[in-house]
Copies of this chain bind each other. A is one copy, B any other.
């Protein structure tokens, strides 16, 4: 089952790291417990809408930007959007190498 909280957690962590902030800094600015924010980032706890708003604020990121990113990642998980790999898959390279050898 695809869980929204897992994607919300991943997106919150990615935005935080992108901005070079620590869990401690964001938790403190958002007035949430560090352990709680950490659990939210790991997809282990559902964040209430109030907490989400306050973490988004602490990350200087509109909540809409966070939720759109969540929607986009869910679409990839659901196979609605094709996954564009960052690197060439190993199988593809192997197939290319094999082709060169036999030619």
* Partner-B contacts on A (CB < 8 A): 1-6, 46, 48-50, 52-53, 62-65, 67-72, 74-75, 77-78, 80
Contacts and interface: CB of A to CB of B under 8 A. Distances in A.
A49 B3 contact: yes
Contact of A63 (B2, B46, B48): B2
Q: Is the interface of A mostly helix, strand, loop or mixed?
A: helix
A75 B71 contact: no
B50 A64 contact: no
Contacts of A50: 1, 3
Given A70-B71, A71-B70, A71-B71, A78 B49 contact: no
Given A4-B53, A64-B78, 4 more contacts: A2-B63, A63-B78, A65-B75, A67-B70
